[in-house]
Structure 1
Amino acid sequence: MDHLVSKLTYVHLALWIAVVVSESLGLSSVQPQNVDLYFPTPIAEGDDLTMNCRFKVDQNSSIYQVKWYKGNREIFRYTQKESPPKKSFPLSHVIVDEKQSDMNKLVLRKVPLALRGVISCEVSFEPSFQTIIKTSQLLVVSKPKTRPSLTVEFYPLNKPNSKTGVETVMVKKDDVLTANCTAGPSIPSPNITFFINGENYNSIKLGVLERKQEVTVDPVNKTEIRWASLRLQISYAHFVAHKIRVRCEATLFNLYNETSDQYEAERFRETVMLPSSYGGVYGKNGAGWSMGCGGGKSPVIFGRLVWSIAIVGAVQLVLLLTTLSNTTP
Structure 2
Amino acid sequence: MYNNRLFLFSGIYCSRSLSNLRLTVPRAVRVGHSVTLQCDYDLEEAPLYSVKWYRNSDEFYRYVPKEAPPTRVFPLPGLHVDVSVSNAQKVTLLAVGRPLSGIFQCEVSADAPLFHTEIKSAPMTVAVVPDGVPTINVDKAGLERGGPLIAECFAPPASPAPNLTWYVNDQRVPGSTSSSIIRDTELLETANSRLELTGVGGSWGAIRLRCEATQFRLYRANSLVVEVKPDTPQPASVLLMGPSTNGGGWIIPSGAHLFFVLFIGAIW
Q: Provide TM-score, normalisation by structure 2.
A: 0.71
Shift in Å, 1:135: 2.0
Shift in Å, 1:121: 1.2
1:143-201: CA deviation from partner (whole Å, max 9, x where unpaired): 22232222112135666xxxxxxxxxxxxxx563211111242222211122233x235
Mapping 1:140-159, distance limit 5 Å: 140-155=126-141
| Aligned AA (2:150) | T
1:186, 1:98 → 2: CA distance? 31
Mapping 1:248-267, distance limit 5 Å: 248-266=211-229
Same amino acid, percent of matched pairs: 31
* 2:132 corresponds to 1:132: no
* 2:67 corresponds to 1:104: no
Partner in structure 1 of residue 80 of structure 2: 95
**Secondary structure of 2:83 counterpart:** coil
Partner in structure 2 of residue 54 of structure 1: 40
Aligned match for 2:200, one of 187, 212, 234: 234
**Secondary structure of 2:129 counterpart:** coil
1:88, 1:156 → 2: CA distance? 63
2:142, 2:50 → 1: CA distance? 72
| Aligned AA (2:28) | P
Shift in Å, 1:265: 4.0
Consecutive unaligned residues of structure 2, counting only runs of 5 or more, are: 1-5, 234-268
Partner in structure 2 of residue 5 of structure 1: none
1:86-118: CA deviation from partner (whole Å, max 9, x where unpaired): 222222222211111111111112222222222
Partner in structure 1 of residue 51 of structure 2: 66
1:225, 1:269 → 2: CA distance? 34
Shift in Å, 1:220: 4.7
2:230, 2:13 → 1: CA distance? 82
Aligned match for 1:81, one of 54, 66, 87: 66
Partner in structure 2 of residue 4 of structure 1: none
Contact 1:49 1:108 in 2 (8 A): yes
Partner in structure 2 of residue 327 of structure 1: none
- Superposed CA RMSD: 3.2
* 2:173 corresponds to 1:202: yes
Shift in Å, 1:26: 4.9
**Secondary structure of 2:93 counterpart:** strand
Task: State the number of aligned residues.
Answer: 226
1:205-253: CA deviation from partner (whole Å, max 9, x where unpaired): xxxxxx78543235854432222111113245643xxx43323221112
1:26, 1:57 → 2: CA distance? 14
1:98, 1:85 → 2: CA distance? 11
1:96, 1:220 → 2: CA distance? 29
Shift in Å, 1:85: 1.8
**CA 156–90 in structure 1, closer or farther in 2 if over 3 Å, else same:** closer
Partner in structure 1 of residue 162 of structure 2: 190
1:135, 1:110 → 2: CA distance? 21
**Secondary structure of 1:114 counterpart:** helix
Contact 2:25 2:123 in 1 (8 A): no
Task: Report which of the two structures shows the higher radius of gyration computed on alpha carbons.
Answer: 1
Shift in Å, 1:72: 2.0
1:85, 1:124 → 2: CA distance? 14
Contact 1:194 1:248 in 2 (8 A): yes
| Aligned AA (1:250) | A
2:149, 2:33 → 1: CA distance? 40
**CA 25–177 in structure 1, closer or farther in 2 if over 3 Å, else same:** closer
**CA 237–96 in structure 1, closer or farther in 2 if over 3 Å, else same:** farther
Contact 2:129 2:219 in 1 (8 A): yes
1:40-61: CA deviation from partner (whole Å, max 9, x where unpaired): 21223223211111111233x2
* 2:182 corresponds to 1:217: yes
Shift in Å, 1:266: 4.5
Contact 2:163 2:178 in 1 (8 A): no
**CA 237–91 in structure 1, closer or farther in 2 if over 3 Å, else same:** farther
Query: Which of the pair has the greater relative contact order for Cα pairs under 8 Å at 6+ separation?
Result: 2
Consecutive unaligned residues of structure 1, counting only runs of 5 or more, are: 1-19, 160-173, 205-210, 271-329
**CA 124–258 in structure 1, closer or farther in 2 if over 3 Å, else same:** same
1:189, 1:105 → 2: CA distance? 30
**CA 82–154 in structure 1, closer or farther in 2 if over 3 Å, else same:** same
